[in-house]
C-alpha cells in the first residue's frame, strides 16, 4: 500500500511539473538522520535554522507519552529552505522526537518566509510496509511498546498519515532536484 501511494505521489508531482522556489534564501540539505536527535539538533543549530529547547521540562504528545529529547523548537532560519532527504527513522532511538521536531519546523518556517521539506526515504517506506528489521528497542519503547509503534505507523496512524500527507517523494528547489537515493 505504502509503495503504491509513494508511486502515485511521485507520478503526480512529475506530471504536474511542480517547482518550489526557495526565494532569495539559502538552501540547506540534511540526509539520513536515523533517529539521532542530538546530531540533528547540532546540524540545525550550526546552520542557523533552529533554536531547540534544552530545558528539563518534558514535552508530551497528544497520546500522553512524553518525548525523550524533544522539548520544543523555534524556526530562526528566516527565508531559508531546509530539505531533509529522508530516513529520519530506524537504527537510532529518537525518531519519534525527530518527527515532532520536523513537524513543528514545517509549520513555523512559512511564517518567516522559509520552507521545510521532508522527502520520503526507504526507511519510512519500510516502516509503512511493516518491515521493522531496523527498528531499535529504544525506538519501540519511545512509543510505549511495539504494538503502539505499529499503530502510529499505520496508514491511518499519527506518523503514517504524516508521512503520506506531508512528506514528498521528491522536491525541486530552483534548479535542484532532491530525492532520497
d(C-alpha 49, C-alpha 39), whole Å: 14
Nearest to 52 by CA among 61, 43, 60: 43
Nearest to 141 by CA among 173, 103, 94: 94
**Residue matched to cell numbers 513543528:** 104
Q: Tens digits of per-residue pLDDT, 141-173?
A: 999 999 999 999 999 999 999 999 999 999 999
Q: What is the pLDDT of residue 176?
A: 96
pLDDT(5) > 80:
no
Is there a contact between 69 and 98 (Cβ–Cβ < 8 Å)? no
pLDDT(112) > 70:
yes
Q: Provide the whole-model pTM.
A: 0.89
Nearest to 10 by CA among 179, 126, 176: 179
Distance in Å from the first CA to the final CA of the chain: 21
Annotation marks residue 20 as catalytic:
no
In order of 28, 37, 134, 145, the CA distances from 140 in angstroms are: 30, 16, 11, 5
Active-site annotation holder among 20, 34, 123, 180: 123
Give the pLDDT band (50/70/90) at residue 22: very low
Instruction: Tell me if residue 108 falls in helix, strand or coil.
Output: helix
Q: What is the pLDDT of residue 160?
A: 97
Q: What is the pLDDT of residue 181?
A: 86
Residue 26 CB: number of other CB atoms within 10 A? 16
d(C-alpha 102, C-alpha 89), whole Å: 12
Amino acid at each position: 500500500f505504502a509503495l503504491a501511494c509513494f508511486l502515485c505521489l511521485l507520478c503526480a508531482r512529475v506530471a504536474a511539473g511542480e517547482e518550489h522556489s526557495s526565494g532569495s534564501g539559502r538552501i540547506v540539505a540534511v540526509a539520513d538522520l536515523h533517529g539521532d536527535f542530538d546530531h540533528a539538533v547540532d546540524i540545525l543549530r550550526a546552520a542557523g535554522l533552529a533554536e531547540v529547547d534544552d530545558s528539563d521540562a518534558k514535552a508530551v504528545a497528544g497520546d500522553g507519552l512524553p518525548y525523550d529529547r524533544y522539548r520544543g523548537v523555534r524556526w530562526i532560519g528566516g527565508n531559508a529552505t531546509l530539505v531533509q532527504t529522508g530516513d529520519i527513522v530506524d537504527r537510532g532511538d529518537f525518531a519519534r522526537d525527530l518527527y515532532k521536531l520536523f513537524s513543528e519546523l514545517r509549520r513555523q518556517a512559512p511564517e518567516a518566509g522559509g520552507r521545510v521539506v521532508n522527502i520520503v526515504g526507504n526507511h519510512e517506506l519500510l516502516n509503512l510496509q511493516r518491515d521493522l528489521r531496523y527498528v531499535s528497542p529504544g525506538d519501540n519503547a519511545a512509543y510505549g511498546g511495539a504494538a503502539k509503534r505499529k499503530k502510529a505507523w499505520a496508514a491511518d496512524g499519527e506518523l503514517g498519515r504524516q508521512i503520506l500527507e506531508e512528506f514528498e517523494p521528491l522536491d525541486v528547489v530552483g534548479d535542484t532536484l532532491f530525492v532520497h537515493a
